[in-house]
Amino acid sequence: MSETTKSSTIEVQHVDVIDPANRHGRARDLFPVWFSANLNVGNAFFGALAVVVGNNFFWALVAVLLGNIAGGVFMALHSIQGAKLGVPQLIQSRGQFGFYGAMLPVALAAFLYLGFFATTAVIGGQALTAAAPGIDLSLAIIIVALLSLGLSLIGYRAIHVAARWAMWPLAITVVVVTAASALHGGIEFTIADFAPGPFFTAFGLIATFLLTYAPYVSDYSRYLPVETKATAAFNWTFAGAFLGTFWTQLLGVALAIQFDPNDTMASIGDLFGGGWVVALILVVTAVAIGGNNALNLYGGMLNLITAATSFVKVAASKKVRILMLLPTFALGILIALTASADFSANVSNFLSFLLLGFVPWGAINLIDYYWVREGRYDVAAFFEPRGAYYNDPATWTRNGFNWQALLSYFIGFAAALPFVNNGWFQGFAAPLLGHADLSWIPGLIVTGVVYLLITRRNPRRAGTAEHVAEVSR
């Protein structure tokens, strides 16, 4: 059966371990997935946020560069886990938080998938409406969302194949807009006017964009052969995500400086003065956004199945996949259709809270995988709620809750909260630091230090097959 034929067949596999006999592909297949997912003019909207919060061109460019490097590194480190363990990211979180304790990151991920699906659907709808002004925005949002639904329903192979086919037309549209923006001029390149508050706020927002792909990444590397090199999985994931995101977000910075920073799609129309070129670029962008948004629905589906399997056995089937896709799809459309007119500000606030919630989780996940357990997990134990793995006094695990991870998370979260600064909430420490949102710094450092200190007290490598056997005795 050809790859194209396979890609048109609905995937049945969901959160179970991928059998080594069914593993396929190469690490370089990860590049088009993450390059195409981010190489669309719609992502320029997120780069424009670096200008919206108060930076000039130069400092917005620096924030976009450094933010994407930071977010891309964290994201790509998670990609290694999928190839190694063969399970989705949130299932793997049971290895740190416990069988039931993992419901914390599952709940966070549900918020993430829903919010990003709604946000991306609005951006796609705006692109389609800008291309064809006769189409109502609500209808445009639904059209783009339906495209996402179809692709996510078919699943893993379809997303990979679509990414490979989409890469070149997407690159052409981005090249055309980039060239037009460069020729337009009007950008002042100066290192003056540095403001710590806007710069660090922009850095946090930009880093969040790729960092919050962390719950997605293993979903697209878990089918790779077990012998896949960790460096290859990291390099191809990072390269695709960083290049696609940095390029389009840098374009967003340029358009925001040249035109209206709060309306990227209108800025593209102003750049070309209308006409068929603009319409074609925006249609391609809308289709690309619809394809990209399939990742949110696909991840949301796996996340809901993970939640369900925490309480009941869920057999892998097409019916289950369809049912688990619908909540994120329906609620996401509802949110998108009722989105506030102050769209840029609300997206900034949303990204800020994602940063607050996911940085402590990411710190625990990566430290546990790379330093505490060194990638050695009993994967079969992820699916056994009553096993010895989830009742181990040595690792503070009781009834499926690992309190080493949970306590570290809540301490890190509490340490970060005073440094949050967005339109919905301001911590007491934010005004002392130039009103920058620096919550990610204590969220990362405090969580990591606490978790390392707690886990070093236990000399055994909890979670390995050897440890489970030892506890069972």
Return the higher-pLDDT residue of 123 and 403.
403
Under DSSP, the state recorded for 431 is G
Q: Tens of pLDDT along 54-73?
A: 899 999 999 999 999 999 99
Structure tokens at 252: 């967003």
Report helix angle 343-367 to 103-131, nearest 10.
140
Partners of 392 in the β-ladder: 397
Contact predicate 264/44, CB 8 Å: yes
Residue 6: what pLDDT?
47
Handedness of CA 75, 343, 53, 444 (dihedral sign): negative
Residue 73: what pLDDT?
94
Contact predicate 210/43, CB 8 Å: no
Q: Is residue 467 part of a domain?
A: no
Q: Is residue 257 part of a domain?
A: yes
- CA distances to 51, 166, 281 from 290, rounded to whole Å, are 26, 12, 14
Mean pLDDT of 274-280: 83
Structure tokens at 159: 């997303």
Q: Is residue 379 part of a domain?
A: no
Cα 84 versus chain centre, distance: 20
Structural domain including 214 reads 3-359
β-pairing verdict for 397-398 and 401-402: antiparallel
CATH number, domain at 237?
A: 1.10.4160.10
Q: Please give the span between the terminal C-alpha atoms of the chain, in angstroms, as a whole number.
A: 47
Q: Which residues contact 273 (CB under 8 A, 6 or more apart)?
A: none
In whole angstroms, give the CA distance from residue 132 to residue 112.
30
Under DSSP, the state recorded for 185 is -
In whole angstroms, give the CA distance from residue 295 to residue 288.
12
Q: Tens of pLDDT along 422-462?
A: 778 888 888 887 777 788 889 999 999 999 999 876 544 44
What's the total number of domains in the chain? Answer: 1
Q: Is the pTM of this model over 0.85?
A: no
Q: Is residue 338 part of a domain?
A: yes
Q: Is residue 315 part of a domain?
A: yes
In whole angstroms, give the CA distance from residue 15 to residue 299.
11
Residue 215: what pLDDT?
80
In whole angstroms, give the CA distance from residue 302 to residue 320.
10
Q: Is residue 39 part of a domain?
A: yes
Q: Tens of pLDDT along 183-230?
A: 988 888 888 888 888 898 899 889 888 888 888 788 788 889 988 999
Residue 13: what pLDDT?
60
Handedness of CA 236, 237, 238, 242 (dihedral sign): positive
Q: Is residue 266 part of a domain?
A: yes
Q: Is residue 388 part of a domain?
A: no
Q: Which residues contact 274 (CB under 8 A, 6 or more apart)?
A: none
Structure tokens at 399: 């009834």
Which of 6, 10, 45, 9 has its CA nearest to residue 261? Answer: 45
